[in-house]
Amino acid sequence: MNSMSVDRSVWFPWMRRALQLASLADGFTSPNPLVGAVILDPTGKLVGEGYHLQAGKPHAEIIALQQAGDKAKSGTLIVTLEPCCHHGLTPPCTEAVINSGIKKVIVALEDPDPRVSGSGLQRLREAGLEVIDDVLKAEAAYQNRAFIHRVRTGRPWGILKWAMSLDGRIALSNGLSKWISTKESRDWVHILRAQCDAVIVGGETLRRDDPLLTSRGKCNPEPLRVVITRTLNLPLEANLWDVDVARTLVAFEADSAKSRIDKIPQGIDRLPLKSLEPISLLENLAQRKNCNRILWECGPALAAMALKQKCVQELSIVLAPKILGGSPSMSPLNEIGVTSMDKALCIESTELKSYGSDWILNMLIPPLNSDDA
Q: Which is nearer to its own copies, 68 or 192 (CB)?
A: 192
Binding of its own copies by 370 (CB under 8 A): no
Q: Which helix (H) or strand (E) holds 208?
A: helix 203-209
Least distance to its own copies from the beta carbon of 53, Å?
36
Binding of its own copies by 169 (CB under 8 A): yes
Residue 12 neighbours by CB distance under 10 Å? 12
Binding of its own copies by 138 (CB under 8 A): no
Stretch that binds its own copies, among 145-153, 249-257, 278-286, 343-351 (CB under 8 A): 343-351
Q: Which is nearer to its own copies, 3 or 370 (CB)?
A: 370
Query: Which residues in 10-49 contact its own copies (CB under 8 A)?
Result: none
Q: Is 277 a catalytic residue?
A: no
Q: What is the DSSP string of 119-150?
A: HHHHHHHHTT-EEE--TTHHHHHHHTHHHHHH
Q: What is the DSSP string of 251-273?
A: EEETTTTGGGGGGSPTT-EEEEE
User: 80: which residues sit within 8 A by CB, 6+ positions away?
Assistant: 15, 18, 19, 22, 34, 35, 36, 37, 60, 107, 108, 109, 140, 143, 144
Query: Which residues in 309-328 contact its own copies (CB under 8 A)?
Result: 315, 317, 319, 321-328
Binding of its own copies by 179 (CB under 8 A): yes
Least distance to its own copies from the beta carbon of 215, Å?
24
**From 61, 222, 297, 314, the catalytic residue:** 61
Least distance to its own copies from the beta carbon of 63, Å?
41
Angstrom distance (rounded) from CA 93 to CA 59: 8
Return left, alpha or beta for 349; rule: phi > 0 is left, psi -120 to 50 is alpha, else beta. beta
Angstrom distance (rounded) from CA 312 to CA 165: 22
Question: How many residues sit close enough to its own copies to count as binding (CB under 8 A)?
Answer: 50
Stretch that binds its own copies, among 58-66, 167-175, 195-203, 241-249 (CB under 8 A): 167-175
Angle between helices 300-308 and 278-289 (to 10 degrees): 80
HSE (CB half, 13 Å, CA atoms) of 24?
A: 14
> Which of 236, 242, 175 has its CA nearest to residue 214?
242
Q: Which is nearer to its own copies, 44 or 367 (CB)?
A: 367
Binding of its own copies by 351 (CB under 8 A): no
Stretch that binds its own copies, among 105-113, 185-193, 231-239, 352-360 (CB under 8 A): 352-360
Q: Which is nearer to its own copies, 164 or 200 (CB)?
A: 164
Binding of its own copies by 339 (CB under 8 A): yes
Cβ-contact 106, 132 below 8 angstroms: yes
Binding of its own copies by 124 (CB under 8 A): no
HSE (CB half, 13 Å, CA atoms) of 230?
A: 7
Q: Tell me which residues are annotated as active site.
A: 61
Q: Which residues bind its own copies (CB under 8 A)?
A: 164-169, 172-174, 176-180, 304, 307, 315, 317, 319, 321-329, 331-341, 344-348, 350, 352, 357, 359, 361, 363
